[in-house]
Amino acid sequence: EVQLVESGGGLVKPGGSLRLSCVASGFTFSSSSINWVRQAPGEGLEWVSSISSKNYKYYADSVKGRFTISRDNAKNSLYLQMNSLRVEDTAVYYCARASEWYYMDVWGKGTTVTVSS
């Protein structure tokens, strides 16, 4: 079964750090581009970051300089290192595979990040 499973969410104080993980199964992870997409409570979807199969990395302006995306193909894993967290980073964070048509065809169930003092 093609699957993505996120973990690592939790409660953190403003200014703190958190590392999210996303483990893939059922497909060739190393050949895939993967995205992080977040959704704040009651709000819409926001693209956060993506990493290509060739390790090119892209970030939304809202997280540039604070978040770092990385991958470990040997572990079929994607990561998002989040530093200098702000209250407005509070959201459910999804990892999502990019298809050959560049839409997101496989999504995880999400992991919740809460930034609060």
Q: Find the shortest distance in angstroms from Cβ 65 to another protein.
A: 15
Q: Three-state SS for 33?
A: strand
Q: Find the shortest distance in angstroms from Cβ 107 to another protein.
A: 4
Nearer to another protein, 65 or 101 (CB): 101
Interface with another protein (CB under 8 A): 35, 37, 44-47, 49-50, 58-61, 94, 96, 99, 101-105, 107-110
- Which letter does DSSP use for residue 90 in this model? -
Nearest Cα neighbor of 62 from 84, 33, 92, 94 is: 84
Q: Find the shortest distance in angstroms from Cβ 59 to another protein.
A: 7
Nearest Cα neighbor of 7 from 88, 75, 54, 100 is: 75
